[in-house]
Structure 1
Amino acid sequence: MRKYLSVMSTLAMAATLSAHAAETIYVGGFGGSTEQLFKEKIIPPFEAKTGAKVVYVPGNSTDTLAKLQAQKGKQEMSVALIDDGPMYQAVGLGLCAKVEQSGAVKELYPSARMLGDSSVGIGFIATGLAYNKEVFAKNGWKAPTSWNDLTDPKYKQKVVIPPITNGYGLLTLVMMSKLNGGGEATMDPGFDVMTKKVAPNVLAWEPSPGKMAQMLQTGEAALVVWGNGRVQAVVDQGAPVEFVYPKEGAVVIMTAGCVVEGAPQAVLGQQFLQHVVSADMQALLANSQGWGPVNKTTKLTPDVMERVVYGPEKVNALISPNYLVINAKRAEWTNRWNRSVER
C-alpha cells in the first residue's frame, strides 16, 4: 500500500510539472542590465522549480503600461514589473489583480505594500543628488547636502536634471514645492523655484541614462539629480562621483510588480512575484542593480549594504510621493513645465 501511494504521489507530481511545462508565462520588465540579470539568474531557478517557461518582454515602464492598456480583456502578459508611478496608474485602471498575501510577500516592509494590495514594491531606489568630486575640489566647493543646493547660482550651467517625463525630474519638482510651502496638491511654489532659481543652473534636461552617466563622469555635469543605483554604476566604472542623501530626505522610487488582471497564467504569475520578492532574489537585485531589498529578511554583505537602501532606518527615512495626486495632475504639470521650466 505504501509503495502504491508513493507511486501515485510521484505520478501526481510528474503530472503537475508536466502541466506547468506546457505553460509559458510572459513577464514585462525593465531592459538593459536588469533584463540580463533576470534571464541569467532569476528566471532559471523559477523555471527549474515550476517546469514552466518564462518569456521576458523588455521595455520601459510607460511602454509596458501601454501594452497592458492595449491588451485589456485579452492580456498576453501575466506579470508586469514597472516603476511605482506608472504602477499606481495601472492599479487605478484596473490592470492589476490582488496580490496573494502569503509566502515572501508577508516578509515585505510596510512601505513596499502598495495601495490596495494589487501590487508590491520589488526594490527601493533613493532619489537624491550626485556630484563629481574632482570638479567640486577644483572649484573649492563643499559637497552638496541639500535639495536647495540646486538653486545656488555658483552652479550655473553645471546642473543636469532629467525632464518631468522622467521620474527624477518630476520628483525634483515635488521636492522644490515641499521645501517652499507647497506639496503635491499645491505645486505653484515648486514651479516658481524651478523656473526662477533651478532652470538657470541647468545645462541639460537629460532623459538618457547613458548620456547622464557620461556627463557626470567627464565633469560636464558637476551636480545632478539621480537614483543611487544609477550613480553606483558610474562609481563602479571608476569615476570620481558620489551619491548624496539630502538632509531633507531622499525620495523613494520603487520598482514594483503586479500580477496582471485577467492574466493567462494567473497562478504562475503569483508564484513568480513571490519568487522575485524572496530574500535570495532580493539579494541578487541589490548586488547587481543597486535596488534596496523590500524583503526584511534579506541578508547582504557589508559593502553592498553601504551602497543600497538597506534596513529599517534607511527605508523609513525615505520620502514617499503621493502618486494619487501626481498621476491626476501629471499631464497638466508636463504642459506647464514645457512652457515655463524647460524652455
Structure 2
Amino acid sequence: MSRRRFLSWSAAGVGVGLGLNACGSSPSATSSDSSGTTGSQEFAGQQLRVFIYSGSTEKFFRDSFVPAFQAKTGATVIPDPGWWDSIPKLKASPPGQPAFDLVLTDATQGYPAIREGLFQTIDMDRIPNKEKFTPSVLDNWVYREGYGITFPGSGMVLAYNDDLIDFTPTDWGDLMRDEVTGKLGMYNSFYMSLYTFACMKVAWEGRPGTAAREMTDNLSEVLEFAKVQRDRVQYWWPTSTDMVLNLDRSNSAIGNMHSNGMITAMRESPKLKSIVPKEDIAFVQTMWVIPADTPQKALAEEAIDFLLSEEMQRAAAENGAPTPILSVAQEVAARDEAWTQVYPATAEEIQKIQYYPYDAYFQDWDSIVATWDRQVLRKG
C-alpha cells in the first residue's frame, strides 16, 4: 500500500477514534422519517447549530444527515466542525446565546462539562428511537440522569501484520509473548493504551475478562505494570494513519488500534489483519448532549432522535462506524466482511458492548496523566 494511496482514504477518516466516523453515501433528501411518515415541518425557518468532529464525522453529517433532516423538518442545520473546542466556545458564550444548540462529545470532555452545568437534561419521551439501541450502550449515568444519549464510537482491536508474526493472535495476552517484545505499536493516549495494559495484565495472570474491574480496584497496579512492560512497545502511535503505515512498512508487528481505522486498511493490504478478543471489549463513549440555555431544545431533541433512526445508523455503519441497532448491524455484516471483523453483529455480541473505564480514569485523572506522560511514554 503506497503512502499516497493510503493517505487518499485516511484524509477522509481523520479522527477515527471519535464520533461516527462515517463518510460517503447519503440518503435521499426526502421528507420521510425512519418509519416512513412525512415530516411535520413544524420547525420550518428555525436554525440548529451543531458541533461535530472534523473529518469523517463532518462528511457524514453534511452528506447524510443535513439534507435528510432539513427536508424532514424544514429547519436549517449549521454544522460547526472542530476537535476539542466545543467546551471552551460554550463557556465563552453570552448567557442565553450558546455557541451550539447540539453537541457531539465524548466522555473525557462530556463528563466534566455535564457536572459543570453546561448541558441540560433531555426529554427522553421525545427520543423514541433510543428504544432501538441495545440497552448496554445506554447503561451509564449520563443517560440515566437524562443528560445525553450515549453510543459507541471506535472499538479497540488487536491489529497485526501477518507477515511479521508466526502465530495467529487470539487475545490480549498475545502481546506478552517473547517473540513480539519490542515490536508493539500502541496508542500514545492513555484512555486506550492503559486499558490495553490492563487487558494484558489480567490475561497474563489467567483472569481474562476482568480488565475493567482491575482498572477500578487496582489502578496503581495497572500503572506499575504499564511502567514495567513499556519496553515491549516499539512505537507510540499518535494517529491511526501512523499506526497503519508502520504496520504496513513492517516497523511494528502488532498492537492496539481503532476499529474504524483498520477497516479500509485491511481492504487495501491483505497482510494487515485485526481481531476483537472476546474478553475485555472496549469502545469510545460518544454522546449527543444539549447546551443548558439553547432556545432550540425541541429541535435539538428532534435531531438526536433522527440520528438514532435506522436510516442514519445504516448510513453510518455502511461507511465504517459501529451501530447498536441489531437489525442494522446484521444487514451491514451480511455484505461487508471487513466490517464484521471489527464490529459486533449478533445479538450476543451487541449485548456485550462496553466502554472504556472512564469512571476509573476520573477517580485520579491528574495522577494518571502525570505517570503516563513521565514514566510510561518516557522511561522515567
TM-score by length of structure 2 reads 0.76
2:107 matched to which residue of 1? 84
1:68 matched to which residue of 2? 90
Distance in 2 separating the partners of 1:310 and 1:229: 15
Distance in 1 separating the partners of 2:89 and 2:194: 23
Identity %: 21
Distance in 1 separating the partners of 2:362 and 2:201: 16
Bigger radius of gyration: 1
Are 1:291 and 1:309, in contact at CA under 8 Å, matched by a contact in 2? no
Shift of 1:185: 4.1
Match of 1:303, SS state, is coil
2:16 matched to which residue of 1? none
User: Deviation digits for residues 30-52 of structure 1, max 9, x if unmatched?
Assistant: 22122111111121100111111
Q: In structure 2, which of residues 297, 311, 318 is the aligned counterpart of residue 280 of structure 1?
A: 311
| Corresponding position: 1:29 with 2:52 | yes
1:96 matched to which residue of 2? 119
User: Deviation digits for residues 292-337 of structure 1, max 9, x if unmatched?
Assistant: 2123453623034624223331122344444233123222101011
| Pairing 1:1-343 to 2, within 5 Å after superposition | 17=41, 20-60=43-83, 62-71=84-93, 73=95, 74-101=97-124, 102-113=127-138, 114-115=140-141, 116-136=145-165, 141-164=166-189, 167-176=191-200, 182-197=214-229, 199-288=230-319, 290-298=320-328, 300-301=331-332, 302-304=334-336, 306-307=340-341, 308-343=343-378
Match of 1:20, SS state, is coil
Point out 4+ residue stretches in structure 1 off by more than 4 angstroms: 176-181
Are 1:85 and 1:323, in contact at CA under 8 Å, matched by a contact in 2? yes
User: Deviation digits for residues 9-42 of structure 1, max 9, x if unmatched?
Assistant: xxxxxxx84x734322111112212211111112
Distance 1:173-1:78 versus aligned 2 partners, 3 A rule: farther
Distance 1:269-1:178 versus aligned 2 partners, 3 A rule: farther
Distance in 2 separating the partners of 1:170 and 1:120: 26
Residue type matched to 2:360 in 1?
V
User: Deviation digits for residues 135-191 of structure 1, max 9, x if unmatched?
Assistant: 22xxxx2122222222333223321111235x3224324435655683224212212
2:33 matched to which residue of 1? none
Residue type matched to 2:287 in 1?
A
Are 1:277 and 1:294, in contact at CA under 8 Å, matched by a contact in 2? no
Distance 1:335-1:273 versus aligned 2 partners, 3 A rule: same
Distance 1:319-1:111 versus aligned 2 partners, 3 A rule: closer
Distance in 2 separating the partners of 1:231 and 1:250: 16
Distance 1:122-1:150 versus aligned 2 partners, 3 A rule: same
Richer in helix (by share)? 1
Residue type matched to 1:32 in 2?
G
User: Deviation digits for residues 235-260 of structure 1, max 9, x if unmatched?
Assistant: 13335222211243321223321222
Are 1:292 and 1:310, in contact at CA under 8 Å, matched by a contact in 2? no
Distance in 2 separating the partners of 1:233 and 1:206: 18
Distance 1:63-1:287 versus aligned 2 partners, 3 A rule: same
Distance in 1 separating the partners of 2:369 and 2:270: 33
Residue type matched to 2:105 in 1?
I
Residue type matched to 2:219 in 1?
M
Match of 2:288, SS state, is strand
Distance in 2 separating the partners of 1:325 and 1:69: 26
Shift of 1:224: 1.9
Are 1:132 and 1:242, in contact at CA under 8 Å, matched by a contact in 2? yes
Higher mean C-alpha displacement, 83-92 vs 228-237: 83-92
Match of 1:134, SS state, is coil
User: Deviation digits for residues 235-292 of structure 1, max 9, x if unmatched?
Assistant: 133352222112433212233212222224211111111111111110111111x222
Distance in 1 separating the partners of 2:250 and 2:238: 18
Residue type matched to 2:172 in 1?
W
Where do 5+ consecutive residues of structure 1 fail to align?
1-15
Residue type matched to 1:326 in 2?
Y
Distance 1:111-1:284 versus aligned 2 partners, 3 A rule: same
Aligned-pair RMSD on alpha carbons? 2.5
Where do 5+ consecutive residues of structure 2 fail to align?
1-39, 208-213
Distance 1:291-1:154 versus aligned 2 partners, 3 A rule: same
Distance 1:177-1:157 versus aligned 2 partners, 3 A rule: closer
Distance in 2 separating the partners of 1:111 and 1:317: 7
Residue type matched to 2:164 in 1?
V
